[in-house]
Amino acid sequence: MVTPFKSNEDLDLDAFRSNIDYYVENKVHGLVVGGSTGEFATLHPDEHRALIKTAVDQVNGRVPLLAGTAYCSTRYTVEMSKFAQDTGADGLLIVPPFYNKPRDEEIYQHYNAISNAVNIPIMVYNNPFTSKVDMKPELIERLSKLQNITHVKESSGDITRLWKIRQLTNDKLVIFAGADNLAFESFAMGAKGWICVAANVLPRECSELYELAVLKKDLEGASKLYNKLLPIGNLLEDSGLFAALSKAGLDMLGEHGGKPRRPMMPPGPSELEQLRSILKTFGKVSK
């Protein structure tokens, strides 16, 4: 989920609640608060806690809710993870510490400390594009032996990683696709879920792709829908403007997007025109 801000960059929790209802009404199978597209790295800890608390309250058990709780510090990641658990989140999504480029042993001890501190499922998140830390399948396999590490979101862009992780862990971990333009390929390689940026704008269509590919095993139908969704997936992945474009798309749909928090800026005219053109193909905007 994106994090809506007011014009003065304060949290807009009313807009956030409205977006949650929009997602749930459009048949998403779960939600993530405080992830990369939610601009978690720009949030004050008090804001972070307010988002998690608001999300738990507004979702009200209608779908599973994952809380992103990542910080560069193990101490603060543990603290926010315990808060999310105590508040009622169903699980945690945690990217490894960034900026300092930790070594594998440091990453392992980081997740070990978190696993020992909570009793809800943890999805480790490999996103080297953003975090600049690449957790290779061998490290993922080691992490899978920790008690509460049950899922992995694989966003390296290397589709062969899914096969390697499945082989190394003997399918112990539930793999979620993390790239919007590799979803179908990831499902074909054994991914059981998809954390999808485009679902901020096209929640029903992205949910349908998952249902066709994973639940119904209708690869022909899934492939047809995927080809229609690929333009927005490619636009997001190629530009890297995940939060900004998602927010612009929500605004185009009459939902609550707004601007990203500085230093990030709204998309330019070219990206906005591409986005509007894509939404027209789904009958979402008329002009």
Active site residues: 125, 153
In what helix (H) or strand (E) does residue 122 lie, and over which residues does it extend?
strand 122-126
Q: How far is CA 257 from the centre of its chain?
A: 16
> In terms of DSSP H, where are the helices of the chain?
13-25, 45-59, 74-87, 104-117, 128-131, 137-143, 160-169, 183-188, 203-210, 219-239, 242-252, 269-281
In sequence order, the 6+-apart residues with CB closer than 8 A to the CB of 270 are none
d(CA 196, CA 206) in angstroms, rounded, equals: 8
Q: How far is CA 62 from the centre of its chain?
A: 18
> CA of 72: how far to CAs of 41, 80, 92, 186, in Å?
10, 12, 16, 29
> Greatest CA span in the chain, whole angstroms?
53
d(CA 114, CA 94) in angstroms, rounded, equals: 10
